[in-house]
Structure 1
């Protein structure tokens, strides 16, 4: 069913729909016609309100749980509310101060961890930060023999970081091959990122300019690939405040909470979801089954990109929680956190 635009709803339907959504987001409980009559000051009888709620249900905006005569918004209804009716409030001075106090100078990694923690605390959800991928620049790269069939590939980054990986050697690899491979990297590939080094190696081999035998070239390629594959597999997502997702209201819905916690454990899947927000210019809001990842748990994600010193998007910050979020409060809070991180990175 196609969700109608908000302009197609009558003023009465919009008023009743708004009351249902705002009451549900505040309490998590379905809303009945008598409650609406008391809350809204609409000067309508419960019977008239029920008729309008029935119309909204037929449009796919409200649903009636079988355990209650009240109504609650569907995911389509929440999307309509967020996109067309929500009046977002600015973060309070206290919220701004809390965010700015936690996101301060120092190591970027610490600031990102603090950003996820402060969002978790303020929103009572799980705070999430997609960290910029760290791609080391080669300063030194060499192989140290360990045994007849293994060597230690040692990478020294331009930032002074040192990492070691064990690589398997083809049977009968002579020691001079390790020296030849190390010398080539030092002469031709230093000052490049891993991706750039791999591309140059392929290009020079393809053009016959590598001045390497095939065994040494293969050894270098496998050594570089070890770091590239490792970098892709590393968690690039900081999650804080998972415990906030388990509250007294969740007691009757433990399976949904369990599914959500399982999804949070699969950081790479959520990182891929957030990575799609990097391409946008502003806030992204994913509600429930709009995204396949959360089709079972019925969770929402509010995410905003933050930028580096060159103005390019380098990461994403946000929160994840049940679809019953206080969107009007959390959306500007996430946006302000993204702006604060951008200022820190400038």
Structure 2
């Protein structure tokens, strides 16, 4: 049966439904009429509440998990609550500070993303997820710093001002002057190109005899570019933190659901495709249970929001995965704040 729009519920039904959902989200247990009657602001008898809950069940908003138990909201009921009744609570000053502090540590962008995702996981008691932006770095400056006779530090300054370094093994016979020559060559001839473009041009110039480098220096440049190209190609597309948060008491009682959920998290390709649908949108996306087939069996929800670069283009998605009974009113604004913080970081 299609869910009743919020405007079709009576004031009494709306109040009872809201209290059932909020109690279920807080405690994770079926809610009975007597429990609702004792909640602040409720002036109906248990018998009257029971009748209202029966009507809500017939409308597909509540269900009976067991014959003698109280009611729980259906996925459709949760959707109705999230879209039309939820009163969002903005993140506290401490929560905002925790997320922002994780982004101010510096280092590679992936480390900042992973750190912010871990903070979001800890604050929301869910698994934090972030889709890493697929950026093709460009070269601005390249240099080699000798560490020993056999190793050097390859330092790359990217077009965006980022600085990264890697330790590489040196070909036999490489001198300090060759290191300087190789670094100057990359900066002068390959600056402004992406890694793939730089490697292609180097190969072309070597083939055409245009590379003004001896054999040892050519090999040095090739190794220096290769270590970055390989590193970027293996960087994670998806970062997941806090999976242990998903195994709460309710989940532990259903080992098959736990296994299914962990299997779903291992299938990162499917999660990436799910988050890509959030990337295409203009704002927050909330998937509740079987609304997305990926988490239909485990009964999980996903809250995701895109984050943008300095030009306003969507470059990634951040969010959480949790049980369908997660605290949407608290977590939705928290995900939104994290997305905004990441957008500021990418500028």
| CA RMSD of superposed structures (Å) | 3.4
1:47 and 2:43 aligned: no
Long gaps (5+) in structure 1: 140-156, 163-188, 198-226
Taking the aligned partners of 1:233 and 1:80, their CA distance within structure 2 comes to 41
Q: Confirm or deny: 8 A CA contact 2:252 2:258 kept in the other structure.
A: no
1:297 counterpart residue number: 298
Offset at residue 194 of structure 1 (A): 8.6
1:106 and 2:140 aligned: no
1:61 counterpart residue number: 61
Offset at residue 234 of structure 1 (A): 6.2
Alignment of 1:72-87 (within 5 A): 72-87=72-87
Taking the aligned partners of 1:3 and 1:233, their CA distance within structure 2 comes to 45
1:92 counterpart residue number: 92
TM-score by length of 2: 0.73
Alignment of 1:201-220 (within 5 A): none
Offset at residue 250 of structure 1 (A): 2.1
1:330 counterpart residue number: 331
2:11 counterpart residue number: 11
Alignment of 1:305-344 (within 5 A): 305-344=306-345
Offset at residue 310 of structure 1 (A): 1.3
Q: Confirm or deny: 8 A CA contact 1:158 1:191 kept in the other structure.
A: no
Q: Confirm or deny: 8 A CA contact 1:64 1:71 kept in the other structure.
A: yes
- Report how many aligned residue pairs link the two structures: 287
Distance 1:68 1:252, change over 3 A: farther
Partner deviation per Cα, 1:79-117 (whole Å, 9 max, x = no partner): 000000000011011111111111115231111011110
Taking the aligned partners of 1:27 and 1:288, their CA distance within structure 2 comes to 19
Taking the aligned partners of 2:346 and 2:137, their CA distance within structure 1 comes to 18
Taking the aligned partners of 2:115 and 2:94, their CA distance within structure 1 comes to 17
Taking the aligned partners of 2:55 and 2:65, their CA distance within structure 1 comes to 16
Q: Confirm or deny: 8 A CA contact 2:33 2:46 kept in the other structure.
A: yes
Distance 1:90 1:309, change over 3 A: same
Partner deviation per Cα, 1:229-265 (whole Å, 9 max, x = no partner): x989864110000111112232212211211111111
Q: State which drifts further: 60-69 or 114-123.
A: 60-69
Taking the aligned partners of 1:123 and 1:341, their CA distance within structure 2 comes to 17
Taking the aligned partners of 1:79 and 1:37, their CA distance within structure 2 comes to 24
Secondary structure at the counterpart of residue 253 of structure 2: helix
Alignment of 1:242-321 (within 5 A): 242-321=243-322
2:130 counterpart residue number: 129
Distance 1:40 1:17, change over 3 A: farther
Offset at residue 41 of structure 1 (A): 3.5
Q: State which drifts further: 237-246 or 252-261.
A: 252-261
Distance 1:313 1:38, change over 3 A: same
Offset at residue 69 of structure 1 (A): 2.6
Long gaps (5+) in structure 2: 141-155, 159-163, 167-189, 199-227
Distance 1:256 1:45, change over 3 A: same
Taking the aligned partners of 1:296 and 1:248, their CA distance within structure 2 comes to 18
Taking the aligned partners of 1:231 and 1:58, their CA distance within structure 2 comes to 54
1:177 counterpart residue number: none
Q: Confirm or deny: 8 A CA contact 2:285 2:304 kept in the other structure.
A: yes
